[in-house]
Amino acid sequence: MSDLPTYALSEEQELLRATVRELAEAKIAPFAADVDEESRFPREALDALVDNGMHAVHVPEPYGGAGADALSAVLVIEEVARVCASSSLIPAVNKLGSVPVLLAGSEELKRWCLPSLAAGEAMFSYALSEAEAGSDAAGMRTRAVRDGDAYVLDGVKTWITNAGESRFYTVMAVTDPGAGARGISAFVVDRDDEGVSFGPKERKLGIKGSPTRQVILERVRVPEWRRIGAEGTGFKTALATLDHTRVTIAAQALGIAQGALDFAIGYVKERRQFGKPVSDFQGVQFMLADMAMRLEGARQLTYHAAVKSERAMRGERIPDLTLVSSACKALASDVAMDVTTDAVQLLGGYGYTREFPVERMMRDAKITQIYEGTNQIQRMVIARQLLK
């Protein structure tokens, strides 16, 4: 029987999961409620993740990173999200912002920004959306006009995660207004570039510790070598990026759901009604069983998608990567919303108060159904892949 193939995490990945869980419980969980209540950036989480090399594990070794595979990156995000969704956006968005550079950036560009990311000296955000270009990203209005050996960028990017905290921003801008999606190019903008500013923090339902702000570009001059790939390939790079990073949002959703399930299980075993633990009631047991089944199904699809993502990053052609990445994001986020809502229900009146973490987890879960492409968009993507 020993020669049978296995479908499981490696010993190294199991150790990674245990290490991140221990770190998250000790250094991140104690501050999660305050981070949410005060709507402040989780500085303690950033310090803990950087100190332990967990803030951007995906950066390849030649640029000073750990060179972790996509599934390992998923495990890090999942375990951090289990205790604090806001904190999990540190490794998740660092990957989102930098994957375009890894996919299409020049060696000069990679050498310029990736070592700082790997060292924890800088964070990396992704600036695609605009007020009138959310799901219709190709309708963006931000412009990049060539001026000698540089481009001048003007526009406003909206809903940018960790804006102001990150140093680097992958910015999509129109270089050929008459060419539609083929007229969009990608650039790396530095927070310290002249003309870069940020709007006020959005007042949000959840993930309150992760600042969401406008990135305002006013005559920002970006040298040509900071363009990602050839001119006109930005939208193609953006779509390719999402094939990899939707998996990270699925990982975040898994972590949020697991945290809610774990807390609900502990609560119903301790809470007594009618002379016995609430966990003895069959109705409660069925709820827990359904929560666990849906969560494990979403987890397996997410891990499956992560392995395909890794193979694609290494240059292998994966025809169904778009389908599985959209599917795991939609499924995991829908499951997270269901599981966290059920967790609130299992705690009854206590679940509705801020004294217990499940209401925060429910609020945090909602965003996973919206960003990185709404789940309605994911279903459109999946259907188009099926009908090709």
Active-site pick, 78, 165, 359, 372: 372
Write 232-235 long-range contacts (CB < 8 A, 24+).
Answer: 232/175, 232/176, 232/179, 232/182, 232/183, 232/184, 232/185, 233/104, 233/185, 233/186, 234/172, 234/173, 234/175, 234/184, 234/185, 234/186, 235/137, 235/138, 235/172, 235/181, 235/182, 235/184
Euclidean distance between CA atoms 350 and 358, whole angstroms: 9
Q: Which residue has the tokens 């209540």?
A: 37
> 82: Cβ–Cβ under 8 A, 6 or more apart, which residues?
21, 24, 255, 256, 258, 259, 262
- 363, 205 Cβ separation under 8 angstroms: yes
Angle in degrees, CA 360, 340, 373, rounded to 5: 85
Question: Can 372 be counted among the known catalytic residues?
Answer: yes
* Closest among 94, 103, 384 to 252, alpha carbons compared: 94
* Ramachandran assignment for 228, one of left (phi > 0), alpha (psi -120 to 50 degrees), beta (any other): beta
Supply the residues annotated as catalytic.
372
